A = this chain, B = another copy of it.
Amino acid sequence: MPNVSKRSQEVPLSPFRKLATLAEQVKQEGRKVYHLNIGQPDILTPPGAIARLKEMPFSIVPYTPAEGLYSLRKAMAFYYGRMGIPVVPEEVVITTGASEGLQLALLTCFEQGDEVIIPEPFYANYSGFAQIAGVRVVPVKSNIETGFTMPGISDFEALITPRTKGILLCNPSNPTGTFYPKEVVLALGDLVRRYGLFLLVDEVYRDFIYDGQNFFSAMEISGLEDHVILIDSVSKRFSACGARVGALVTRNREVIEQVSRYAKLRLSPPFLGQILAEFMLEEASEYLGPVISEYNARRNILFERLSAIPGVVSYKPGGAFYCFAKFPVADADHFCEWLLGSYSYKGATVMLSSGSGFYATPGLGIDEVRIAYILNQTDLHSAMDVLEQALAVYPGRLQPV
């Protein structure tokens, strides 16, 4: 019997999917599970866009161009223009989700053995995409005590080697919800300019910024046209994660050309998702306002509830719909498993992502968790009731309540 490859066995498992099998069992046993572990919001996909997709006459579900439907590339370019990022459709390649966009960016910009610097904790699947591309992830540590603000530029500089080819930034951050303001983005821009690096920016949560802050995209930095590559997705913006439609956007035409070569290999992004995306983009301005308010309200609930739990360290995240929290436990992995598998309060339990999976440095984040506030306010309160009670009685609790 032939063996599977070693590399396949070393693919990092997503921490937010690791407990999925256990969750299924728990549900079959009749316990309710509040999912605060994944990025699948309960917000409706724009209803008008779904209705228009259903009304659209089509009799064949065909390949689209490998770079995506031109009409969608145009609609995306228009959306970016309104965000202060003037681009033409030819600078937009439609991808099968941000996942594919990031994979193609890594293959296009990095050789095997090249290095990418990423502030940690970071979106866990970055490690997997880097592994496929043979790119080495070099983490630069940020801390929960400061709400995961950006490490100093000198921390980045200390990690730059002859193999460093780029920096990857998720703004606002999944998994921490940290929003990096303009001066931080500019400082990183200055760094990549000085060292001739790529700056890959994952801005899929760009619309979800709170407290009246203004989002500043790395794509807005003038003089960095050849350095900056934007990875985007309609998944979170429109609560359409299953559309599998994202975009890779850059003014570096050589990058566009090589990304297109890879894109041609897989022939086409999904047709139906692209049609839906076009309709959703047309509704963006009316749709997003109430959605952002709703996430903001949930964020405030989460922050208040976490602040009220003895021994929990957290912060008020500035964007996205995630937050990290430090629990008074020795091993958050064990706590999350116990919480899901062995605990219930009023017939329900909560699924969280343990924090360590979001760090590349072993040993970091072992007492931390990521919480996605993707449940409605009532459910979020109920989930926090469960969590509060659970932390009080968890046998592995480190500090007395």
Instruction: Find residues 224-282 in chain A having any chain B CB closer than 8 Å to their own CB.
Output: 226-227, 239-244, 252, 254-255, 258-259, 261-262, 264-273, 276
Q: A255 contacts which chain B residues (CB < 8 A)?
A: 4
Min CB–CB distance A185 → chain B (angstroms): 18
A265 and B128 in contact (CB under 8 A), knowing A4-B254, A111-B6, A242-B270?
yes
Indicate if the CB atoms of B266 and A276 lie closer than 8 Å.
Answer: no
Q: A158 contacts which chain B residues (CB < 8 A)?
A: none
A266 and B44 in contact (CB under 8 A), knowing A108-B4, A110-B5, A258-B9?
no
A2 in complex: contacting residue of B9, B128, B166, CB < 8 Å:
B166
A242 and B64 in contact (CB under 8 A), knowing A196-B2, A254-B4, A266-B100?
yes
Min CB–CB distance A384 → chain B (angstroms): 23
A258 and B4 in contact (CB under 8 A), knowing A66-B17, A266-B97, A269-B244?
yes
Instruction: With a 10 A CB-CB cut-off, give which of A6, A40, A129 has the most chain B CB atoms.
Output: A40
Q: A197 contacts which chain B residues (CB < 8 A)?
A: 2
Indicate if the CB atoms of A107 and B5 lie closer than 8 Å.
Answer: yes
Indicate if the CB atoms of A4 and B128 lie closer than 8 Å.
Answer: no
Indicate if the CB atoms of A40 and B62 lie closer than 8 Å.
Answer: yes
A60 and B239 in contact (CB under 8 A), knowing A4-B254, A258-B8, A266-B99?
yes
Indicate if the CB atoms of B265 and A63 lie closer than 8 Å.
Answer: no
Indicate if the CB atoms of B254 and A268 lie closer than 8 Å.
Answer: no
Min CB–CB distance A1 → chain B (angstroms): 4
A45 and B59 in contact (CB under 8 A), knowing A108-B5, A244-B244?
yes
Q: Any chain B CB within 8 A of the CB of A83?
A: no
Nearest-CB residue, chain B, relative to A125: B265
Question: In whole angstroms, how far apart are the Cα atoms of A59 and B383 in the complex?
Answer: 24
Q: A89 contacts which chain B residues (CB < 8 A)?
A: none
Q: Any chain B CB within 8 A of the CB of A22?
A: no
Question: In whole angstroms, how far apart are the Cα atoms of A99 and B129 in the complex?
Answer: 17
A242 and B61 in contact (CB under 8 A), knowing A13-B261, A258-B11, A261-B13?
yes
Indicate if the CB atoms of A45 and B17 lie closer than 8 Å.
Answer: no
Question: In whole angstroms, how far apart are the Cα atoms of A362 and B375 in the complex?
Answer: 58
Q: A29 contacts which chain B residues (CB < 8 A)?
A: none
A272 in complex: contacting residue of B44, B108, B242, CB < 8 Å:
B242
Instruction: Find residues 36-62 in chain A having any chain B CB closer than 8 Å to their own CB.
Output: 38, 40, 42-45, 47, 50, 54-55, 58-62
Indicate if the CB atoms of B8 and A107 lie closer than 8 Å.
Answer: yes
Q: A276 contacts which chain B residues (CB < 8 A)?
A: 61, 272
Nearest-CB residue, chain B, relative to A107: B8
Question: In whole angstroms, how far apart are the Cα atoms of A5 and B254 in the complex?
Answer: 10
Question: In whole angstroms, how far apart are the Cα atoms of A30 and B258 in the complex?
Answer: 30
A270 in complex: contacting residue of B13, B111, B270, CB < 8 Å:
B270
Q: Any chain B CB within 8 A of the CB of A109?
A: yes
Q: A134 contacts which chain B residues (CB < 8 A)?
A: 112, 134
Min CB–CB distance A268 → chain B (angstroms): 6
Instruction: Find residues 116-141 in chain A having any chain B CB closer than 8 Å to their own CB.
Output: 125, 128-129, 132, 134
Question: In whole angstroms, how far apart are the Cα atoms of A112 and B6 in the complex?
Answer: 10
Nearest-CB residue, chain B, relative to A62: B242
Question: In whole angstroms, how far apart are the Cα atoms of A13 and B54 in the complex?
Answer: 35
| Apart from A2-B166, A5-B109, A50-B59, 16 more pairs, CB < 8 Å | A1-B196, A2-B197, A2-B198, A5-B107, A5-B110, A7-B107, A7-B111, A11-B261, A17-B264, A20-B65, A63-B242, A129-B265, A132-B262, A242-B268, A242-B270, A273-B273
Residues of chain A whose beta carbon lies under 8 Å from any beta carbon of chain B: 1-2, 4-9, 11, 13-14, 17, 20, 38, 40, 42-45, 47, 50, 54-55, 58-66, 96-97, 99-100, 103, 107-112, 114, 125, 128-129, 132, 134, 165-166, 196-198, 226-227, 239-244, 252, 254-255, 258-259, 261-262, 264-273, 276
